[in-house]
């Protein structure tokens, strides 16, 4: 019996779909092949072929990790159902809000630098495919403090390795280029001209729209895992009492992971993070993304009257919502379901003190909007992509730790490969590292 392999392009970049046919019986088997793309040890070596059987997968969580995972699984031939309690990019979600930074400066974190470079390619591909603006190329300015610049120095060779363009600028060069910033306490900066920010909520909705258009099934429902016994989970249970079953399950529940699986409670901590939007003078473009890049201040400056070191970052413009700033310092642990999302007087005062120092022209700027979101922090602030310790067909995906959104399309591709058996996930994302350090058995 003779077979012929016919290849054609899929809607996902870097993927070829192959169909084996014979003249008498028609289509025999379909599979997905992804071209080699190098972002860390994960992708070294040739691609393996996924199982030819029809995989059904239920993905719980439609945020940056879950939504992209579901879309990639679908594009690779799986039958996928996506579930979320409140919908993609909702106001409780870690992926909610208007904007997120995308940058490749990651200290010694090679895998994140390379994932960020790959993710940026994918963001640009999909916004072109969907004819929807998702990425805003403003550049990113990463300011190094005078006391310790080891993070920034470690990042430079890895960015070169990943093909990320950057400039190393002295404080004087920065002040000449961006006079609206006070660079006191800054020794030098990394400037990434090709980076910027992403439209967060819009992107979550776009991923869901594409998922549904390509044949995926979405349901808004509260979900809990079924009973696990003999290394097998007996489906997922909806609040309605219905049980859904599949070959594999992906729990990408963000800050709710510790509630879904109690053994994760010690290693996933949701924290309260305050975000402020200050108003600029009418017609003043100096603090919009037309004249100012996304920025991050790694000087960890101590503010007078506010003890401790603070790491502020900001996004100018924000779809005309104002000058956004936030402190990356981890806040108090919270319950993302029941938390009241009102800013604190202390947080606002600290933000104002920082703005007065670093952006003097905004010293008297009014607060025009605010937001309370959360980080879903793993113990070491690295991602999680691994089997459930008691069920190999159940996958745990999370630990975004305040820097996950940008990686969505690349990480979702990685998760889909792991679920379909195409490629093992990187060791950096294994659960063992966290469970062992917390004294739990893996």
pLDDT in tens, 303-326: 877 878 889 999 998 888 899 999
Residues 6+ apart with CB under 8 A from 172: none
Note the pLDDT tens digit of each residue in 87-133: 999 999 999 899 999 999 999 999 999 999 999 999 999 999 999 99
**pLDDT value, residue 318:** 80
Note the pLDDT tens digit of each residue in 207-218: 999 999 999 999
Topology adopted by domain 101-200+270-375: D-Amino Acid Oxidase; Chain A, domain 2 (3.30.9)
Query: Using 50, 70 and 90 to split pLDDT, how confident is the model at 300?
Result: confident
Work out the widest C-alpha separation in the chain, in whole angstroms.
Answer: 80
**pLDDT value, residue 438:** 57
pTM of the model: 0.88
**pLDDT value, residue 440:** 54
Domain residue spans of the chain: 101-200+270-375
Q: Which of 284, 286, 299 is nearest to 359 (CA)?
A: 286
Note the pLDDT tens digit of each residue in 396-431: 999 999 999 999 999 999 999 999 999 999 999 999
Query: Using 50, 70 and 90 to split pLDDT, how confident is the model at 13?
Result: low
pLDDT at 40 over 90: no
Categorise residue 320: left if φ over 0, alpha if ψ from -120 to 50, beta otherwise: left
Note the pLDDT tens digit of each residue in 336-391: 999 999 999 999 999 999 999 999 999 999 999 999 999 999 999 999 999 999 99
Measured torsion, CA atoms of residues 440, 222, 73, 200, in degrees rounded to the nearest 10: -90
Percent of the chain having pLDDT more than 70?
87
pLDDT at 42 over 70: no
Note the pLDDT tens digit of each residue in 284-296: 999 999 999 999 9
Q: Which of 83, 75, 77 is nearest to 58 (CA)?
A: 83
> Which is higher by pLDDT, 306 or 188?
188
């Amino acid at each position: 019996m003779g077979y012929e392999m016919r290849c054609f392009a899929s809607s996902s970049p870097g993927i070829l779909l192959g169909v084996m046919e014979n003249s008498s019986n028609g289509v025999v088997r379909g599979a997905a092949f992804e071209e080699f793309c190098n972002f860390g040890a994960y992708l070294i070596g040739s691609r393996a072929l996924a199982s030819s059987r029809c995989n059904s997968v239920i993905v719980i969580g439609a945020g940056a990790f879950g939504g992209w995972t579901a879309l990639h699984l679908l594009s690779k031939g799986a039958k996928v159902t996506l579930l979320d309690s409140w919908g993609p990019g909702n106001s409780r979600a870690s992926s909610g809000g208007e904007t997120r930074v995308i940058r490749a400066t990651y200290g010694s974190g090679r895998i994140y630098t390379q994932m960020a470079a790959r993710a940026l390619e994918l963001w640009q591909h999909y916004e072109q495919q969907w004819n929807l603006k998702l990425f805003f190329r403003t550049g990113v300015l990463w300011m190094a403090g005078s006391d310790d610049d080891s993070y920034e120095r470690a990042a430079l060779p890895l960015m070169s390795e990943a093909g990320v363009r950057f400039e190393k600028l002295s404080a004087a060069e920065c002040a000449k280029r961006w006079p609206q910033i006070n660079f006191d306490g800054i020794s030098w900066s990394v400037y990434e001209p090709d980076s910027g920010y992403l439209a967060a909520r819009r992107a979550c909705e776009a991923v869901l729209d594409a998922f549904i258009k390509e044949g995926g099934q979405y349901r808004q429902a509260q979900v809990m895992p079924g009973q696990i016994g003999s290394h097998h989970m007996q489906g997922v249970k909806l609040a309605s009492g219905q049980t859904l079953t599949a070959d594999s399950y992906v729990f990408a529940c963000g800050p709710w992971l510790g509630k879904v699986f109690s053994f994760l409670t010690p290693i996933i901590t949701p924290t309260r993070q305050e975000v402020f939007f200050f108003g600029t003078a009418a017609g003043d473009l100096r603090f919009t993304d037309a004249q100012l890049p996304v920025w991050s201040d790694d000087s960890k400056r101590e503010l007078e009257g506010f003890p401790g070191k603070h790491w502020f970052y900001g996004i100018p413009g924000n779809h005309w919502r104002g000058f956004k700033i936030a402190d990356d310092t981890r806040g108090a642990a919270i319950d993302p379901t029941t938390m009241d999302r009102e800013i604190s007087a202390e947080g606002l005062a600290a933000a104002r003190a920082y703005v007065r120092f670093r952006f003097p022209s905004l010293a008297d700027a009014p607060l025009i909007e605010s937001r309370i979101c959360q980080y879903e922090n793993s113990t070491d602030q690295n991602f999680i992509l691994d089997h459930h310790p008691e069920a190999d067909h159940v996958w745990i995906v999370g630990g975004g730790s305040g820097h996950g959104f940008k990686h969505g399309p690349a990480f979702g591709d990685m998760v889909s490969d792991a679920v379909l058996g195409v490629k093992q996930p990187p060791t950096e994302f294994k659960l063992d590292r966290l469970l062992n350090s917390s004294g739990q058995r893996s």
